[in-house]
């Protein structure tokens, strides 16, 4: 009987998506308090723009020449920079905020008198300011976190990019490969949490909007089959739950806040279903990765049950996380690609 119900739901999936699309669309971050949403580069660095208050003590440490170049878009004299002839392996970071910007792997001798690189570490860490000239005169480049002036990006570089990032030495600080990077030059120390709350499309979408969330991925957990397919999970009693893996920055958002968002997104009183979706793959669950997460999840559920918000018992399972199996590509970012959120509530606004 369960397989027949599930098969019927699969067959009307397209119609369900259409209904969902009429219910909700992409969200925008709340602007009531004008809070800047955290941003992260592909390499896991916090590139949230620094506020004037955060910048002030950093800028106060700069000498006159470094201030002129980095804060007033100045240019140092050619062939005078301390970093021009450094050939050691290592990383070049922003002299103001410490964000890694360039790697020695991409450095080359341009003969121009300034340190030159044919690519940046990440385009979100080195921002190109376009001026309408098409790059003929060179685009200004800035630090992606503190907006310090670095130099210019030219179109006369070597393969494979054909670009030349022409950088002022005083805008950078060099750390050799055998030197530890300071905390401000390291990627975010992330944590991971796993949530199952019915169809993973909408759950993934809204977790991905969370301030401090680096990544949300749809997948399958807590089942008996290795690397299952969507069809197996739906039809073959594998006991997996559709689950969303959430990688987050605990300095920006707490596990408790994620729990709150999770319970706002779905109905935790529905057993082995969520709305029209039936089957244990749609069960409600928190799969903890540490004892601290287990304690906090159980405490949150107890508080929620005592609050009287729900008229029925909460049936959310709290279990130790098993292997997370990512879902097929077609299920990732499904809402962004197709619209609709499967009646999942927006927990951030």
Let me know: does 206 contact 344? Beta carbons within 8 Å.
yes
Residue whose token pair is 């979706």: 277
Separation CA 262–CA 348 (nearest Å): 10
Listed residue (195, 244, 200, 233) closest to 342, CA to CA: 200
Let me know: does 261 contact 206? Beta carbons within 8 Å.
yes
Beta strand pairing status for 164-167 and 149-154? antiparallel
Residue whose token pair is 């950093």: 58
Q: Is 297 exposed, middle or buried (0-12, 13-18, 19+ CB in 10 A)?
A: buried
Question: 91-114: b or e for each residue (b if 16 or more CB lie within 10 Å)?
Answer: bbbbbbbbbbbbbbebbeebeeeb
Phi, psi (rounded to 5 degrees) for 286: -120, 120
Q: Report the alpha-carbon angle 116-120-122, nearest 5.
A: 170
Separation CA 295–CA 290 (nearest Å): 9
Q: Is 221 exposed, middle or buried (0-12, 13-18, 19+ CB in 10 A)?
A: buried
Using H for helix, E for strand and C for coil, what is the string for 250-315? Answer: CCCCCHHHHHHHHHHHCCCCCCCEECCEECHHHCEEEEECCHHHHHHHHHHHHHHHHHCCCCCCCC
Catalytic annotation, residues = 166, 199
Q: How far is CA 11 from CA 220, 305, 349, in A?
A: 21, 36, 33
């Amino acid at each position: 009987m369960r397989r027949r119900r599930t098969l019927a739901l699969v067959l009307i999936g397209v119609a369900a998506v259409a209904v969902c699309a009429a219910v909700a669309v992409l969200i925008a971050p709340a602007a009531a308090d004008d809070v800047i949403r955290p941003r992260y580069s592909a390499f896991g660095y916090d590139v949230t723009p620094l506020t004037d208050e955060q910048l002030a003590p950093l800028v106060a440490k700069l000498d006159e020449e470094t201030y002129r170049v980095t804060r007033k878009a100045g240019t140092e004299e050619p062939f005078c920079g301390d970093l021009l002839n450094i050939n050691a392996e290592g990383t070049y970071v922003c002299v103001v905020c410490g964000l890694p910007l360039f790697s020695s792997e991409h450095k080359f001798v341009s003969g121009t008198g300034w340190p030159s690189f044919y690519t940046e570490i990440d385009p979100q860490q080195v921002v190109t300011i376009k001026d309408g000239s098409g790059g003929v005169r060179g685009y200004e480049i800035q630090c992606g976190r503190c907006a310090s002036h670095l130099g210019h990006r030219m179109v006369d570089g070597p393969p494979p990019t054909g670009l030349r990032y022409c950088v002022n030495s005083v805008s950078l600080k060099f750390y050799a490969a055998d030197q530890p990077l300071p905390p401000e030059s390291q990627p975010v120390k992330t944590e991971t949490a796993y949530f199952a709350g019915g169809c993973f499309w909408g759950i993934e979408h809204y977790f991905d909007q969370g301030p401090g969330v680096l990544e949300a991925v749809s997948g399958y957990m807590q089942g008996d089959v290795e690397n299952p397919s969507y069809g197996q999970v739906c039809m073959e009693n594998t006991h997996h739950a559709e689950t969303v893996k959430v990688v987050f920055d605990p300095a920006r958002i707490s596990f408790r806040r994620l729990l709150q968002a999770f319970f706002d997104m779905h109905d935790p009183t529905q057993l082995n279903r969520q709305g029209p979706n039936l089957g244990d793959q749609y069960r409600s669950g928190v799969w903890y990765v540490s004892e601290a997460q287990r304690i906090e999840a159980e405490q949150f559920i107890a508080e929620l049950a005592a609050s009287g918000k729900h008229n029925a018992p909460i049936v959310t399972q709290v279990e130790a996380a098993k292997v997370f199996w990512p879902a097929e590509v077609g299920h990732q970012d499904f809402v962004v690609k197709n619209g609709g959120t499967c009646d999942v509530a927006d927990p951030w606004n």
